[in-house]
Amino acid sequence: MKFDTKVVRAGIIPDPTSGSIVPPIYETATYVLPEVGKDRGFDYTRSSNPTRQVLEENLAAIENGKYGVSFASGMSAVDAALKLLGSGDHVVSGDDVYGGVTRHFDNVLARHGLEFTYVDSTDTESVRAAITSKTRMLWIETPTNPLLKVTDLEAMASIAREHDLLLGVDSTFATPVFLRPLEFGVDIVMHSTTKYLSGHNQIIGGILVTNRQDIFEQMKYIQKTIGAVSSPFDCWLNLSGLKTLHLRMRRHEESAMQVAQFLESHDKIERVLYPGLPSHPQHAVAKAQMSGFSGMITFELTGGTEAGKTLMNNVQLCGLAESLGSVETMITHPASMTHVDVPLADRHKRGLTDGLVRLSVGIEDVEDIISDLEQALTQA
């Protein structure tokens, strides 16, 4: 099956009892067994559920992976990936990751004995230099939230192989439409399905995908033991949203490129970060490893923080909101919203200034998105 066909069809068969073309929502906690010691593939929804299974199979297929494990949020998927490790293990993580991930690593997992070192993963040598005898995992986000840094995954896979490390990649911003990390030798791909993969701002969800049976078995065990599973209804909504992923992503990207070019040429804009612009520091890597640049843009105004806030307070079409990757255009202030729990000094060290504005370009008419930004910029 070609990619676009997989998006619409992989893992989905007409319901055997009715022929329903849409997988039913199996909103059930448990299943009646035919006899003691036998089941029909399902015994309790924390362990497995037919609607969730369809979602897991579809997402695994579009990542070009064998196994998918679905979670109640992107964060519980991150948590499950990190639970493959144990006390005393060390993780080398990219320095620009979603603020909730930093919070989880530093304020929760560190209390349970994991150790973290943050490095700029666009610099392969600093990743290599951070590895110690205790390192067990590399955790990379690409493109990153919010600075849109792009990491060379082939280089990361070769370091991981050399040192026998697990390589986990948060590919939420790229989506499997533009990047399939498993094809570069990555062990675990993670997504917040809250974003592009569901695409309609209706659910919170997460997924882990792998090709390795040993990792899958551990992830499945963690999923059923801890129970941070996505509900059958959320899985069903996610499946609905997924069917247009390939179409949505192409529109997100096309419009993002036009918005990025508009912003870059505007005299009130100091800098624009968009992997598709030749001015992006890792444009060459993005062009080589991704088939498109997705729909996220980060920028800063010449007037600094106050001007950025004025812009965000004056947009009308763009929603000032704490998320991304949906059909609606959303604008976010990372310093006070998504990354507020990253200590100020750490934020500044990694280049996350108070004036940064993050834009998730939706699929409305791009002229309306640009006019809205233009009118807000005149006030900034």
Ligand X SMILES: Cc1ncc(COP(=O)(O)O)c(C=O)c1O
Distance of alpha carbon 316 from its chain centroid, rounded?
Answer: 27
DSSP 179: -
Nearer to ligand X among residue 53 and residue 175 (C-beta): 175
Go through the chain and tell me how many residues it has: 380
Instruction: Catalytic residue, from 83, 149, 195, 347: name it.
Output: 195
- Which string of DSSP letters, residue by residue, matches 188-204? EEEEETTTTTT-SS---
Residues 63-92, mask of contacts with ligand X (x by CB under 6 A): ----------xxx-----------------
Nearer to ligand X among residue 100 and residue 176 (C-beta): 100
Among 130, 204, 226, 337, binds ligand X (CB under 6 A): 204
Asked whether 311 and 378 are in contact (CB, 8 A), the reply is no
For residue 282, the minimal CB distance to ligand X (Å) is: 17
Among 48, 194, 298, 360, binds ligand X (CB under 6 A): 194
By CB under 6 A, is residue 10 in contact with ligand X? no
Among 102, 151, 175, 192, binds ligand X (CB under 6 A): 192
- Which string of DSSP letters, residue by residue, matches 57-119? HHHHHHTT-SEEEEESSHHHHHHHHHTTS-TT-EEEEESS--HHHHHIIIIIGGGGT-EEEEE
Nearer to ligand X among residue 122 and residue 370 (C-beta): 122
Among 145, 198, 201, 298, binds ligand X (CB under 6 A): 145
Q: Which residues neighbour 203 within 8 Å (Cβ) at sequence distance 6 or greater?
A: 193, 194, 230, 234, 237, 238
| Among 199, 158, 159, CA closest to 176 | 199
Among 63, 170, 187, 372, binds ligand X (CB under 6 A): 170
By CB under 6 A, is residue 234 in contact with ligand X? no
46 as an active site residue: the answer is yes
365 as an active site residue: the answer is no
By CB under 6 A, is residue 308 in contact with ligand X? no
Whether omega for the bond prior to residue 143 falls within 30 degrees of 0, making it cis, is yes
For residue 238, the minimal CB distance to ligand X (Å) is: 11
By CB under 6 A, is residue 206 in contact with ligand X? yes
By CB under 6 A, is residue 198 in contact with ligand X? no
User: What type of residue is 344?
Assistant: L
Residues in contact with ligand X by the rule CB under 6 A = 73-75, 98, 100-101, 141, 145, 170, 172, 192, 194, 204, 206
